[in-house]
């Protein structure tokens, strides 16, 4: 599963775009350097029923922003992503 696919699945489960969830996390102070991933994972699980793997994709975006490693960009494997910048504004608005 690609990094973007994890975020798309979170959107499907919650009905909220990744950007909306990132903003909620920031309002709670979860983007602070001293906040551990476990705190964010627990919040996402308790509030939205999101599992650890999908939550970790959001943790990355909350803590580090939408840019990811280009390691899988342009590859043909299951983990391939189209670009090294994740789309946070919802599947329906993603450019083709």
Q: Specify the pTM.
A: 0.90
**41 Cβ contact partners less than 8 Å away, ≥ 6 residues apart:** 52, 55, 56, 59
**pLDDT per residue over 13-65, tens digit each?**
999 999 999 999 999 999 999 999 999 999 999 999 999 999 999 999 999 99
Q: How far apart are CA 58 and CA 22, in angstroms?
A: 7
**pLDDT, position 30:** 98
């Amino acid at each position: 599963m690609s990094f973007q696919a994890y975020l798309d699945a979170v959107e499907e489960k919650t009905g909220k775009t990744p950007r909306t969830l990132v903003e909620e996390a920031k309002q709670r102070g979860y983007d602070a350097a001293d906040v551990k991933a476990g705190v964010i994972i627990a919040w996402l699980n308790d509030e939205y029923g999101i599992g650890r793997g999908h939550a970790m994709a959001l943790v990355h975006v909350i803590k580090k922003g939408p840019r990811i490693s280009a390691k899988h960009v342009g590859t043909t494997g299951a983990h391939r992503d189209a670009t090294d910048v994740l789309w946070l504004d919802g599947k329906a608005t993603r450019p083709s």
